[in-house]
Copies of this chain bind each other. A is one copy, B any other.
Amino acid sequence: MHNSQVPAETWSIAELAAEYDVTLRTIRFYEDRGLLNPERRGTARVYHPRDRVRLALILRGKRLGFSLDEIAKIVDMYDAEPGEEGQLAYLLDQITHRRTELEQRRRDIEETLQDLAEVEARCHADLKALRDQSDSR
């Protein structure tokens, strides 16, 4: 078995912040809340691909409106060790729970998109009415 020699790229906190358009404060805050655990080289933080993925997951969770506490649980699911049976059952339970939530949100989105389409149609109708009115003057 050979050591598959991937570059094993790393990033500084500033690089990661620039890439994902967040502040350094935000990244450090996520670490403070246990969402990130970068390596330390001296006192400085060094981020590995794994940390990068976690940050992306965190931000996706935020866009979805989850709290950081919820995001912590979700993200930790991805990194979960095989563990024993009870742990796996718990994980499966969590998955079901999150899926239910997400499907509710998807329904909310569909409904809202439809509502927006209606408002838009009304808008166009109103615009047409205005134009017809001014044309006939």
Contacts and interface: CB of A to CB of B under 8 A. Distances in A.
A99 B118 CA distance: 12
A98 interface: yes
Interface string A93-137: 001001100111110110111011001100110110110000000
Contact of A65 (B65, B98, B116): B65
A115 B78 contact: yes
A85 B130 contact: yes
A85 B95 CA distance: 48
A99 B85 contact: no
Interface residues of A, number: 40
A7 interface: no
A85 B127 CA distance: 7
A109 B119 contact: no
A55 to B, nearest CB: 15
Contacts of A99: 113, 116
Contact of A92 (B109, B111, B123): B123
Contacts of A126: 82-83, 88
A127 B88 contact: yes
A112 B64 contact: yes
A21 interface: no
A77 interface: yes
